[in-house]
Amino acid sequence: MTGMRPWEGKRLGRDLTLSKQYKSILNKITLRSDYKIPARKISRGVMLSRYRASNRIKKTLGVKGKEEVFLPAEAELNSITPGYEKSIQPFYLGDQIDSFYHEDKPAGKLILDAKKSAVLEDGIFMNRRKIVSVSATRHPKFAWVELPYFMDGHAYYIDPEGIDPRYLVAILNSSLMWFWLVYGAKRTHGKVLKIDAEAIKLAPLVKPDDRIGSLLIRLSNEASNLKKARRGFLDIWKNYSEYMMSESVKLREILAEDKKCSSEKRLDDRWTSKTAFHSTPEIHHKSFENLVIEADPEKKSIMIYGQNERGPLIGLFEIVFIKKELMLHVYCALNDPYAPPPITLAGLLNRNIPILRPDPAKQTIEIVKAVSWDFRNYVSAEKLKPHDFRVFNGEALSIPKDLFSIEKGLNETLEKIDFVVFTLYGLSKEEARTILNSLRFDSKYGQEVIDHLSSIDPRSAVEELLHREWGISEHEEAVCNHEHDNC
């Protein structure tokens, strides 16, 4: 990732003894709150006593291939016969939800008794305005989901009533709410947040006003679409790599071959121009809580950091590539969403890199070219743009066409959301810095948030952000809100 905000959940501080400063901030957040989600609007996912169906049950149900089937109760298992009156619903797993993002493709099928299904279909699972959250997570994961979305009891569903779900999702995923969940609600178990119905019910929310509410809705839209674009790019890369590759080799083997090419003066056969360890040899096999991968497209370099709880980022290894396309290819492989995340530098250097033969340094670029071409079609087909109901300043707002620009835009959007939420709750620059530091963000993240909060009047800074980003006047905003209400 090019930015340093921990999208995948970096860390929680273990020491929950509250300082006077923390208590003051929490009190300020609570006093500013004028809305809480009613308990009756919070539902839990489907309770499953048996998670995956056996092959015998799948055969009885007529399910073929490797598709998974999920069943909710033992009593229903016993009643399944070839003539079983059933209802089939799309079923999703917890790792398919992230902040501002949800996967569209189900993990499998949920088989329900037809009568039970009729009751569930009448409720929150089919609601087009629902918010879905994951209960056990490293960081808040709330997503607005329009699709029919059945999950198990580890997920919670929120009916936002008359409030735009994108507005609530922006607040619930913000650093401010993360801080409140850790230190206010004290919903942590070790390094994991436990966001249950009680925590959701007590969350100190603020009703939207027209200006800030509209801005958060737009930023929430943008974060959602940028996350979807990022995942789409990596999925397309994965598909083309598997289809086009001659074989896969470990990253360390590529680096070793480059070293050999350099010694033999075969410079055109190299992927890289430089590699450098930024640590002692002993750290090569040291386990880290997180490995942070940062790309610099201008330098054509990838920097790998290690990070442990309560500690700073530790520079481990740097790779400088000859061609930007090869850097992007390796970067995608290191961020493969389907591969288990490594915890050591040695593990990361053992990551398989798809290549084309002969002449991998030249031929493998064709994979990246195919991905970039197809990604443009994907963006058009998915109709991805930062705001789905309006074109501003006479120009359509579009998703960046390369992964690095997408990640940069996503990080900036998350910073803006934090800034607006801090302003909404009336927090000062020092209080915002305290929150970001408490969550152990790297200092590279949030500087724009702090800079904005240095303004004499943060509200005017929000107005400036509205105008600078989209050129919206108060009259245009009123027209925009009217259009959104009717869409």
Q: Is the pTM of this model over 0.85?
A: no
pLDDT of residue 8: 40
* Residue 77 included in any domain: yes
Mark whether 179 and 296 lie in a shared domain: no
* Residue 341 included in any domain: yes
| pLDDT-based confidence at residue 193 (cuts at 50, 70, 90) | confident
| pLDDT-based confidence at residue 147 (cuts at 50, 70, 90) | confident
Mark whether 196 and 266 lie in a shared domain: no
What is the number of structural domains in the chain? 2
For residue 187, give every residue at least 6 positions away whose Cβ sits within 8 Å of its Cβ, in sequence order, or none: 181, 193, 194, 195, 196, 199
pLDDT of residue 207: 92
* Residue 2 included in any domain: no
Lowest mean pLDDT, pick from 105-114, 235-244, 265-274: 105-114
Share of the chain above pLDDT 90, in %: 40
pLDDT of residue 74: 47
Closest residue by Cα to residue 211 from 423, 381, 29, 386: 423
Lowest mean pLDDT, pick from 107-116, 327-336, 374-383, 430-439: 107-116
Mark whether 170 and 273 lie in a shared domain: no
Rounded mean pLDDT, 33-55:
79
Lowest mean pLDDT, pick from 170-184, 368-382, 457-471: 457-471
Last residue of a domain, one of 331, 355, 379: 355
Mark whether 55 and 149 lie in a shared domain: yes
Mark whether 253 and 332 lie in a shared domain: yes
| 154 φ/ψ angles, rounded to the nearest 5 degrees | -85, 0
Last residue of a domain, one of 315, 334, 355: 355
Higher pLDDT pick, 127 / 322: 322
| pLDDT-based confidence at residue 377 (cuts at 50, 70, 90) | confident
Mark whether 55 and 177 lie in a shared domain: yes
pLDDT of residue 129: 85
**Tokens at residue 210, please?**
């027209």
What is the domain range of residue 31? 20-208
Mark whether 131 and 260 lie in a shared domain: no
In the predicted structure, residue 9 carries a pLDDT above the cut 90 = no
| pLDDT-based confidence at residue 111 (cuts at 50, 70, 90) | confident
For the stretch 84-104, pLDDT in tens is 556 778 888 888 999 999 998
Closest residue by Cα to residue 193 from 238, 157, 140, 152: 140
Last residue of a domain, one of 291, 325, 355: 355
Mark whether 187 and 276 lie in a shared domain: no
In the predicted structure, residue 330 carries a pLDDT above the cut 60 = yes
* CA–CA separation, 212 and 286 (whole Å): 45
In the predicted structure, residue 481 carries a pLDDT above the cut 80 = no
Mark whether 268 and 192 lie in a shared domain: no
